[in-house]
Amino acid sequence: MLKLEQKEIIGITALLIHAAKIDEIYSEKEKNIILNFIKNNNVVGLSPEKIINDAEKLEEDSNQLLNYTKIIKDSPKKTKIEIVEQLWKVLISDNNVDLYESNLMRRICGLIYFSDKECGEIKMRLMKSK
């Protein structure tokens, strides 16, 4: 469990929503993964619906990944691992990872200074546990 402030949980939720929408299908399964992330990490007391609404607005208004990743970049490694895991859970929820989704993860990991090797290991572990 991460202890996230309001700006952090909204920003990370926006990144998860962006990942969910990258294949142009924002499924209920993806929404539930995001909702579980919010429920498990929401220490600010905002309703999950409020966080999702604010995050969806942020995601719609922003074209740059930097807006999302700068929140994560200076976080401890444990936090980065949990966020990368959540991103992969969203991306593999439909049992298909396309080139856009893989590219998104490579870019995010580069922007948050997270190794490709560790990112790939997380993906493989999560896919095996499905």
Q: Where are the domains of the chain?
A: 6-128
Note whether 69 and 15 are within 8 A (CB): yes
Please give the pLDDT value at position 66: 79
Percent of the chain beyond pLDDT 70?
A: 100
For residue 107, CA distances in Å to 28, 34, 64 come to 25, 20, 11
Q: What is the pTM of this model?
A: 0.93
Instruction: Using the structure block, give the residue that is written with the tokens 């790939």.
Output: 120
Q: Which CATH number fits domain 6-128: 3.40.605.10, 1.10.3680.10, 1.10.540.10, 3.40.190.10?
A: 1.10.3680.10
Please give the pLDDT value at position 28: 96
Which tens digits make up the pLDDT trace of 27-77? 999 999 999 999 999 877 889 999 999 999 999 887 777 788 988 998 999
Instruction: Return the SS3 of 30.
Output: helix
Q: How far is CA 13 from the centre of its chain?
A: 6
DSSP conformation class of 46: -
How many CA atoms lie within 13 Å of 115's alpha carbon, on the beta-carbon side?
5
Please give the pLDDT value at position 54: 94
Note whether 4 and 41 are within 8 A (CB): yes
Residue 128 has pLDDT above 90, yes or no: yes
Query: Helices (DSSP H) in 42-114: which residue ranges?
Result: 48-61, 66-73, 77-92, 99-111
